[in-house]
Amino acid sequence: MEMRFSFIKCRIFFPLAGLFLIFSGCATVPYTGRSQLSLVEDSEVLQMSVASYREVLSQSEVIRNTDDAAILNRVGRRIAAAAEEFMRDEGMGEVTNDFNWEFNLINDDEVINAWCMPGGKIAFYTGILPYCEDESGVAVVMGHEVAHALARHGAERLSQNLLIQLGSTALSLSLEEEPEMTQSLAYIAFGLGSQIGFILPYSRTHEYEADQIGLILTARAGYDPRNAIEFWERMKAQGDNSELEFLSTHPVAEDRIKEIKEMMPEALKYYNKYNQAHP
Ligand SMILES: [Zn+2]
């Protein structure tokens, strides 16, 4: 029922936004099967993502050759492999085929944040590492962030924002004609809006999906998904700390930890399977 309802919700945008939408319009979230608004071609999203990623890295100090950088890389490779396997199992392997994974640690203790942009472009700031505590905590955060990318949440947010900003004008044209606005929208949509001073929290639907898929990725990569409960409890204990950028884009709603606990038996099946295969 849920799927059917979202499909109808998605379809009502067709008459609103004109010709362009007839050719694209909807995509499907892996695992949950939810139908989502998608007004931008994947190739365009990837292009914007790569450009934004390059820009952020060029303005940052990237750390290499430290223990923390090595941990981030190791977790990254394992989560990426788990993500590709997961998408193949979901019959959506073509999505990650176009990913070009990168994992970069940015030296900034003031920024408590981590994100994964479309195409597998991942950044962790040193400020979030104490909240991760150890390698499995990094895996929890990365699993969650990669899940946002697999579920194309950035593209969905971009589509929703484009619809609000541009209404029914030809969207494909506007992307080329208004590069600055498009770039700003991409920053907001991909979760790094604070770079331009505008943070847009992920919706509860997106957070729920990223928790579900993220726990499975963490487990499939061989990290104990139960660490997620502790991580989110640490986040929740921060209350309304506005310094905590990660908390601004990922609000810990009242029921979140309870929901994560409910997802745990499913995630643990994958963790046990991993442990059996890697005794
Ligand atoms: Zn999230």
Among all chains, which residue has been given the structure tokens 């040193």? Answer: 126
Greatest Cα pair distance, the chain, in angstroms, is 57
Q: How far, in Å, is the centroid of ligand 1 from the Cα of 141?
A: 9
pLDDT in the model for residue 15: 43
- Rounded to whole angstroms, what are the CA distances from 10 to 14, 28, 126, 173, 188? 8, 11, 39, 22, 22
Q: How far, in Å, is the centroid of ligand 1 from the Cα of 98?
A: 22
pLDDT in the model for residue 25: 75
Q: How far, in Å, is the centroid of ligand 1 from the Cα of 203?
A: 9
In the predicted structure, residue 125 carries a pLDDT above the cut 90: yes
Q: How far, in Å, is the centroid of ligand 1 from the Cα of 215?
A: 12
Rounded CA gap, 269 and 262, in Å?
Answer: 13
pLDDT in the model for residue 167: 62
In the predicted structure, residue 23 carries a pLDDT above the cut 50: no
Report which of residues 170 and 157 the model is more confident about. Answer: 157
Q: How far, in Å, is the centroid of ligand 1 from the Cα of 111?
A: 16
For residue range 65-77, what is the model confidence (pLDDT) as tens digits?
Answer: 999 999 999 999 9
Please give the average per-residue pLDDT across 89-98, as a whole number: 95
Q: How far, in Å, is the centroid of ligand 1 from the Cα of 214?
A: 9
Confidence at 249, pLDDT banded by 50, 70, 90? confident
What's the order of all strands across the beta sheet hosting 62-63? 62-63, 102-106, 121-125, 114-117
- % of the chain residues with pLDDT over 90: 63
Confidence at 201, pLDDT banded by 50, 70, 90? confident
Q: How far, in Å, is the centroid of ligand 1 from the Cα of 177?
A: 31
In the predicted structure, residue 10 carries a pLDDT above the cut 50: no
Using a cut of 0.85, tell me whether the model's pTM lies above it: yes
Please give the average per-residue pLDDT across 194-210, as a whole number: 88
Which residues are part of the catalytic machinery?
145
Query: What residues have a C-beta under 5 A from ligand 1, the ion?
Result: 202, 207, 210, 250
For residue range 144-169, what is the model confidence (pLDDT) as tens digits?
Answer: 999 999 999 999 998 888 777 766 55
Q: How far, in Å, is the centroid of ligand 1 from the Cα of 204?
A: 9
In the predicted structure, residue 22 carries a pLDDT above the cut 70: no
Q: How far, in Å, is the centroid of ligand 1 from the Cα of 192?
A: 12
For residue range 42-59, what is the model confidence (pLDDT) as tens digits?
Answer: 888 999 999 999 999 999
Contacts 24+ apart (CB under 8 A), 83-87: 83/120, 83/146, 83/150, 83/217, 85/220, 86/30, 86/31, 86/150, 86/213, 86/216, 86/217, 86/220, 87/30, 87/150
